[in-house]
């Protein structure tokens, strides 16, 4: 087995593990949508007719917003995985020039580091009370999308920018609010 085959097998193993994790997350989301709350052993469908309309509306808007964020995270992660595979295949290609290979290696390393940084930023923001968050790190810009009912105060914006700055050292932060 040569080096290229070893890399291909390693990448395939990583993808299999990622797909297993993704399938687990998606299956648990489907149970919630179906009305089963497995973690509490209860049915999440309300049988109280007095507030049936209001609880159905709040549950559907909450789950649609949460599912939006989860779907976007999955799409983002899949796009990054595909880009990493493409870069890796270009780096491993014998016909790629040495200078181009070095530049591609830098891009690969940067993209590989962005994934954990995005997750870290999302986790810190969720710890600060923002339920649903999305983070996109581009070359010199970070975009944060979060769910909030109220308009963000200047203090909250500064807090978000500080979190991004601590993790990425990028000053250009765009904050988008989704209600």
What CATH number does residue 154 fall under? 1.10.287.4300
Contacts of 82 (CB under 8 A, 6+ apart): none
> To the nearest whole percent, how much of the chain has pLDDT over 70?
75
13 in a structural domain: no
The Cα 135–Cα 120 span in angstroms is: 9
pLDDT at residue 76 in the model? 87
pLDDT digits (tens, 9 = 90+) for 24-67: 766 654 444 444 444 444 444 433 444 434 444 444 445 566 67
C-alpha separations of 39 from 28, 35, 63 in Å? 10, 12, 17
Count of domains for the chain? 1
pTM, rounded to two decimals: 0.59
pLDDT at residue 28 in the model? 58
pLDDT, average across residues 66-94: 86
What is the residue range of 102's domain? Answer: 53-178
Residue in 74, 65, 59 with CA at minimum distance from that of residue 146: 65
pLDDT, average across residues 154-178: 88
């Amino acid at each position: 087995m040569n080096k290229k085959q070893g890399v291909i097998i390693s990448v395939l193993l990583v993808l299999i593990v990622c797909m297993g994790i993704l399938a687990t997350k998606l299956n648990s989301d489907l149970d919630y949508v179906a009305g089963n709350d497995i973690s509490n052993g209860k049915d999440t469908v309300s049988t109280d007719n007095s507030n049936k309309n209001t609880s159905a509306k709040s549950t559907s808007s909450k789950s649609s917003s949460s599912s939006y964020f989860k779907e976007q995270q999955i799409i983002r992660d899949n796009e990054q995985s595909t880009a990493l595979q493409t870069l890796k295949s270009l780096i491993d290609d014998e016909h790629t020039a040495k200078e181009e290979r070095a530049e591609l290696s830098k891009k690969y390393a940067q993209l590989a580091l962005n994934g954990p940084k995005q997750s870290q930023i999302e986790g810190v923001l969720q710890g600060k009370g923002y339920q649903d968050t999305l983070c996109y790190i581009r070359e010199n810009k970070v975009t944060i999308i979060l769910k909030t009912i109220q308009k963000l105060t200047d203090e909250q914006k500064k807090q978000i920018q500080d979190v991004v700055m601590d993790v990425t050292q990028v000053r250009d932060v765009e904050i988008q609010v989704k209600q």
